[in-house]
Chain A
Amino acid sequence: MFLDKVIFNKTKVPVLNAVLDVTQLRQRVLANNIANVSTKGYRKKSVRFQEYLASFVSKPPVQGQISNARHISIPGRVSNPEVFQPETTTNDAGINNVDIDMEMAELAENHLFFNAGSHLLAGTFNGLRKSITGRPG
């Protein structure tokens, strides 16, 4: 959309959008790990969110220009946050590899991360609104 290109894509909106998306995914993965805390043989899941978010702020080393329809684009941005199963040993109870303290800590971190993202996004929209209408609120 034209409006997207001129207004939103020049601001922090796409990055913050990705922050909210990835924290939501992470929340789901953490909820699943915690729900399965007493499941025998369960393997915990994790999200590679740092790499995904870093691809928004750092420029790729090589950039390609598509001058012919048959060219393929050089992948610059990590298209999706990746969910994977980390190889860790079983926890103290020995029934699976979910460490409940780590999961709860990650959950708290994720929660704050989401709140920060949503706060910044609200601020960005407020700023846009201010510059469009010329008055606060």
Chain B
Amino acid sequence: MQIFDSFDISASGLSAQRRKLTAVASNIANVDTTRTDEGGPYKRRRIVMLEAPKMTKFSTMLEEQEGRLRQTELRHMPEGEPRPGEFFVGSGVLSQEVREEPVKPRMVYDPNHPDAREDGFVLYPDVNVITEMVDMIAASRAYEANVTVMNATKDMVNRALEI
């Protein structure tokens, strides 16, 4: 049902923003990490968002397939542009995690550090705490916006039940 799709959309937004917050937390926690499993200093985690391509729900796909025209004869013309009203409404947001390669790692001269290089410099992660804090605030506001949408949808469904 259409109104319940709104919940899924808002939920995808919530989960994407939460993921972003987790990445920020991890970046700030690892601001001084010089040693990782793959070697070298910690690499900044970044969440990339993209619009979810199509509803993967079975019912929606079935509905779409049933509405499509089939070519049963060679002389049939192929189906053209989607008819009005069939415009893709959207199904939320997808998020992917990317490990950023450090652009300019922080170099600190500390020859006694166990991870120091031959020349005495230690490589620290390329994490800017200020950028992370800004990202955190943006993500938490976006999260709140999605919560508001969800509450509005919930209230609408409840109202519909009172008819």
Question: Which A residues form the contact surface with B (CB < 8 A)?
Answer: 20, 23-25, 27-32, 34-40, 42, 45, 79-84, 100, 103-104, 107-108, 110-111, 114-115, 118-119, 121-122, 125
Contact = CB atoms under 8 A, between A and B. Distances in A.
Contacts of B90: 28-29, 32, 36, 45
A106 to B, nearest CB: 11
Contact of B84 (A36, A45, A80, A111): A80
11 contacts: A27-B149, A27-B156, A28-B5, A38-B17, A38-B139, A38-B142, A40-B48, A45-B89, A114-B156, A114-B159, A122-B163
Tell me the dominant secondary structure on chain B's binding face: helix
B22 interface: no
A40 B10 CA distance: 18
A37 B9 CA distance: 12
Contact of A25 (B2, B10, B153, B163): B2
B145 A100 contact: yes
Contacts of B145: 34, 37, 100, 103-104
B160 interface: yes
Interface in B111-163: 138-139, 142, 145-146, 148-149, 152-153, 155-156, 159-160, 162-163
Given A35-B9, A36-B49, A82-B85, A111 B163 contact: no
A27 B6 contact: yes
B24 interface: no
A133 B85 CA distance: 40
